[in-house]
Structure formats: C-alpha cells, structure tokens
Amino acid sequence: MRRAYVPTGLSRQPWGVLLPLLMLVCFGGAVLYSAAGGHFQPWALMHVARFFVFLTMAMVLARVPQDWFRRAALPLYGLLCVLLVLVELIGGIGGGSQRWLNLGFMTLQPSELMKPGIVLVLAWFYSVLPTGETRSWRAVAPATGLLGFPAAFVMLQPDLGTALAICFGGVVVMFLAGLPLRWFLGAGGAGAVIAPLAFFFALHDYQRKRVLVFMDPESDPLGSGYHITQSKIAIGSGGFLGKGFGNGSQSHLDYLPEAHTDFVFATMAEEWGMLGGLFVLLVFGLIMRWGLKVAMNAPDRFSRLLAAGMTATIFFYACINMMMVMGLAPVVGIPLPFLSHGGSSMMTNMICIGTIMAVDRWSRRSSTGLS
C-alpha cells in the first residue's frame, strides 16, 4: 500500500477513518451554515475549528503508549467518580438538572468523560482478570460495581441519555469480554420485568412524559410531542433529494427545535433528502467498520476491548440520535456525533476516535515488531 511518492508520516495516518470523519464534519459544517441562515457564524465555523482542535488532541492521544492507558485507567475512573459526586454537591445550586462544573475557563461535564472512562476501566479490569475467572462472579460483580456507581450518579442528575450511554458502553465491553451469554439473557429478562416498574417509580415526570409522548407524539402536538412531530415533518418533507441547500423551511422558520444540535439530522435531511441521510449512515458505517476492524486486529485483550468499547460508544450516540429524530426512540438529549454543534460531545467522540487510533498504532507496532 505504501507508495514511494507519499511521505511516510502522511501515509501512516489512519486515512480509513480520517477521510470519512472529514467528510462528515464538513457536511455537518455545511448543514450548520445553512441552519444559521447562510452564515458561518455562530455554528459552522466553530464546528469545523473545534473538530481540528480535537483532532489534534486525538492525534496526540494516539501516540500514548498502551502502558500509560493501563496505568491511568483506574485513577482516571476514580477522578471522574469524584467529579460526578462534586456535580451533585456543588452543582446542585443551579436548580433542575445540573450536569456540569464551572471551572472558570470552561464548563466540565464529567458524565460526558465517563462514557470513554467506563470503557477504559472495564477493558483494564478484564485484561487483569485471570482468564479462568471469567465465568465466576468475580468477573461480573466488580464490573457491575464499576458500572453501576457512575450510572446511578448520572441518573441522579438526572440525565437518562448519558446514563444509558454509559451502561451501553460498559455492557458491550462485558459482552465482548466473554462473560457467559446466559447472564446477559438473564439480565435482559430481568430488565424486561424491571423496565415497566422503573417507568412508573424511578423515572422523573418529564422523562415518563417523553416516553409516553414517544409512543403517541400526536397526543401532545404542541408540548413534548412537538419535537418529534416537527422532526418527522422535516425529514418526511425532504423527500428523496431534499428541498435544496438553504431551503429548509422547518429549520429556518424555527419550527424544528434544536435544529443545530440534537435535531441536526432532521435539518440535514430536510435540505439533502434521503440521499443525504443515506450518506450519513454510510459514513457512520465506515467509521464503525474501521473501529471494529481495529478491535479485531488488536494485539491483546486490553486493546481489543478498548477499541470495541469505544466504537460501541460512538455507535450508541449515532444510533439513539437518529432513532430519536425519526421517531423510533423517545426524546433523550443525545447529539449526533460529528454533525451536531457542541463541544462536549465532540470532545467525547474524538477521545473515542483517538483511543481507537492509539490501538491501531499499537497493533501496527506489534505486527511490525513480529514480522
């Protein structure tokens, strides 16, 4: 694959992911440019600039040796847990759901960082767990604790979407770690029983309402159902080819709520139609395929689980967001990776990408070392 006329430093880069990412981010920039009424400000320019900042960060992350990751796993996890508790203690003043800490120069959302954090700590846990213990309770109890603590705290904030994302990342790592299948089936069965109970007793009123409205958006066309209804109108009215760049009436006339963040897919689909939607799906497919391929080729258990877990985290974002805007999932505040405007989610996703790139790098190094 290496060609003589391409510098080594350039050709070594993981173009398999960088190209799709660039396309997605640029496309996102175009959508945000249109959503702002044909202006780079305030979203499009910031979006692309932020991407390059976090891409640099990911490149740096990619050069971190595996050993550092292993060593940092538990302390990082502990730090994030402390921050989560701090959010509860200090941040509680703001009223309602408090999800961030004000550090002065930026607002830090520990729950966002916990998404890659949980994958990292569980990957580390299973890599140090003796192989023979995988079937015993020692394989599941500590992991459940590691997962349950932050998930419970995020639920307390309350932020159902992020809590689910953390759980999803953790469970995928546990699944791939080889825990017996019947445990998952059992947990799934228990979940089916507990879910209705949780729905009536654990969820907040507004969350319960969101679920109910998701079942029947037309029941509340001007209230919570408004988001879903308007989003479906935007996507459905786009047709196959869309209304054309800059012609999206739903987003430009403010019918679509959060047109530049959570519902950016609808904004896009209105103007670019189903074709634009398929393009986004395809690019996400490429990124997922790259992430899983890196995981398959990874040299050891830790890096395998790490790469696959990070891929799953990105996947969860994209999947839930797109299901939400198309009316297949209730409204949970989860942005679409690389398209939605927003620093926190961009940072999380780029940390995931950077980590997978690091795994990719380790596997290449070890394979070259072997050959």
Partner 1 sequence: MKQKLPLTSAILTNRFERRTFVLGMAQASVGVLLATRLAYLAIFENDKYKAASESNRVNLSLIPPRRGWVLDRNGAALASNRADFRVDVIPDRLVNPDDTLSKLSGLLGLTADKVSDIKDKLDKVRGFQPVEVAAKLDWDKFAAVSVRLPEMPGVIPQRGYSRYYPTGPSVGHLVGYVGPASAEDYEREHNPLLITPGFKIGKDGLEKHFETRLRGVPGARRVEATATGRVVRDLGTREDVPGQPIQLTILGGLQDYAARRIGLESGSVVVMDCATGDVLAMVSMPCYDPNSFSDGIGRIEWKMLSEDDHVPLRNKVLRGLYPPGSTVKPLVALSFLEAGLDPKASVNCAGGLRVGNRVFHCWNHHGHGQTDMLKGIYQSCDVYFYHFAQQIGMDKIAAMARRLGLGQEFPMPYPGQSYGTVPDPAWKLRKYHKEWAIYDTVNATIGQGYMLVNPLQQATMVSRIASGLQLTPRLMLDKHAAPPPSMGFAQEHLDLIHAAMNEVVNGRGTAGKARIPIDGVLMAGKTGTAQVVGLQHGNGKNVEWKRRDHGHFICFAPFDKPRYACAVAIEHGGGSPSAYPIARDVMTYLFDPAKAMAALEELEKGWGGNVQQRMAARYNTFAAQYGASAPRAPDEAQASQVVEDENKPPAAPAAPQTDAAPPAPEPDAPQPQPTPSPASGGTQAGGAAPNGGQ
Whether 260 and 266 have beta carbons less than 8 Å apart is answered as: no
Task: For the segment 50-109, give every residue that binds partner 1 (CB under 8 A).
Answer: none
Stretch that binds partner 1, among 73-81, 188-196, 212-220, 297-305 (CB under 8 A): 297-305
**Count of alpha carbons within 13 Å of 298, Cβ hemisphere only?**
25
Q: What angle do CA 181, 174, 114 make, to 5 degrees?
A: 150
175: Cα separation from own chain's centroid: 18
- Checking phi first, is residue 246 left (phi over 0); if not, alpha (psi -120 to 50) or beta? left
Choice from 70, 209, 301, 364 touching partner 1 (CB under 8 A): 301
Stretch that binds partner 1, among 154-162, 199-207, 211-219, 326-334 (CB under 8 A): 326-334
Closer residue to partner 1, CB minimum distance, 151 or 235: 235
253 binding partner 1? (CB under 8 A): yes
344 binding partner 1? (CB under 8 A): no
Choice from 52, 82, 328, 365 touching partner 1 (CB under 8 A): 328
Interatomic CA distance for residues 245 and 239, integer angstroms: 13
Choice from 65, 142, 189, 285 touching partner 1 (CB under 8 A): 285
Q: How far is the CB of 289 from partner 1 (least distance, A)?
A: 7
In which element (H, E) is residue 108 found?
Answer: strand 107-108
Q: How far is the CB of 257 from partner 1 (least distance, A)?
A: 9
312-349: b (≥16 Cβ within 10 Å) or e: bbbbbbbbbbbebbbbebbbbbbbbbbbbbbbbbbbbb
Q: How far is the CB of 82 from partner 1 (least distance, A)?
A: 32
Choice from 322, 332, 352, 358 touching partner 1 (CB under 8 A): 322
Q: What angle do CA 200, 205, 210 make, to 5 degrees?
A: 95
Residue length, the chain? Answer: 371
Q: How far is the CB of 3 from partner 1 (least distance, A)?
A: 30
Nearest-10 Cα torsion for 31, 35, 40, 42: -120
Q: How far is the CB of 50 from partner 1 (least distance, A)?
A: 26
Whether 345 and 115 have beta carbons less than 8 Å apart is answered as: no
Looking at residue 133, the DSSP 8-state letter turns out to be G
131 binding partner 1? (CB under 8 A): yes
Residues near partner 1 (CB under 8 A): 131-132, 134-135, 172, 175-178, 230, 232-240, 249-250, 253-255, 269-270, 273-274, 277-278, 281, 284-285, 288-289, 292, 295-296, 301, 304-305, 308, 312, 315, 319, 322-323, 326-328
